[in-house]
Amino acid sequence: GDKQIANVFTGQFFFSDEPIEYELFRSQARTYGFDEQEYMAALDRVPRLSREQVDTSRAFFARFAQLLSHLSYSGIKLARAMEETRNLNIQLTASNKDLEAFTYSVSHDLRAPLRHISGFSKILREEFGPQLPDEAKRHLQRIEDGTRRMGHLVDDLLNLARVGRVDVSLQALGLNSIVEEVVAMLAPDIGDRHVEWKIGDLPSVECAPALMKQVFQNLLANALKFPRPRDPAIIEVGQE
């Protein structure tokens, strides 16, 4: 981390062009109580190095220390990155569990009352339809339309929750075939309305078919929803 934490020593040496003061070392041996003969023999074993050798060695060890510092710092960064990745994976696992719990709640807790409302409205229409006044029939129709729209909203929520868990497998596909399939799926929502579809010549693209189908399903369902008062409702699909 660009901080000095130690010095590296290679041992004692003499420069090869440096004269040795033998009398100084004999004096040291006597001063410190060393055996003079052994001390001088050790002196003769001290390496004689040229100044070029010393500079080369010093440069090597400086570079070696710098390399160790960089490697250590890189190791610290890698350890931190691995820890952050581990924490993110833990958070992602928790988020997926929350998403699964949400999906379960939507599919069970919301669909059940919708089925009840739809079922009882059908019973009213089938058993008491002829006896109901026109205004009551209109209210009953609004109830059925509302439950159907709510069902679509539940489906949209579930599809949105699944998008992040769909395995993306790309393949070349013509968009016209997807649009035609979605239009056929939306036919029951049209009812007795007059809707004119104008589908242009769409390109072939590399896409995930399931996700691309969901895109057009959302877009075209909205296109059917908003122009309800218009007769005919014209929905165009093209490209620029």
Q: What is the pLDDT of residue 41?
A: 93
Residues 1-55: pLDDT tens digits?
A: 678 877 766 677 888 898 889 999 999 999 999 999 999 999 888 888 899 988 9
Read off the tokens for 161. 């929750």
pLDDT above 70: residue 162: no
Identity of the residue numbered 20: I
pLDDT above 70: residue 163: no
Outline where 106-198 has alpha helix (H): 111-128, 134-163, 175-190
String of DSSP letters for 72-99:
HHHHHHHHHHHHHHHHHHHHHHHHHHHH
- Average pLDDT score, the chain: 85
SS3 call for 28: helix
Q: What is the pLDDT of residue 166?
A: 58
CA 94 vs CA 90, 101, 218: distances in Å: 6, 11, 28
Residues 88-112: pLDDT tens digits?
A: 989 888 887 887 777 777 777 777 8
**Which residue in the block uniquely carries the two structure tokens 């420069």?**
15
Q: Which percentage of the chain shows pLDDT scores above 90?
A: 24
**Which residue in the block uniquely carries the two structure tokens 């440096």?**
18
What torsion, rounded to 10 degrees, do the Cα atoms 7, 11, 17, 20 define?
Answer: 120
Q: Calculate Rg over the CA atoms of the chain.
A: 42
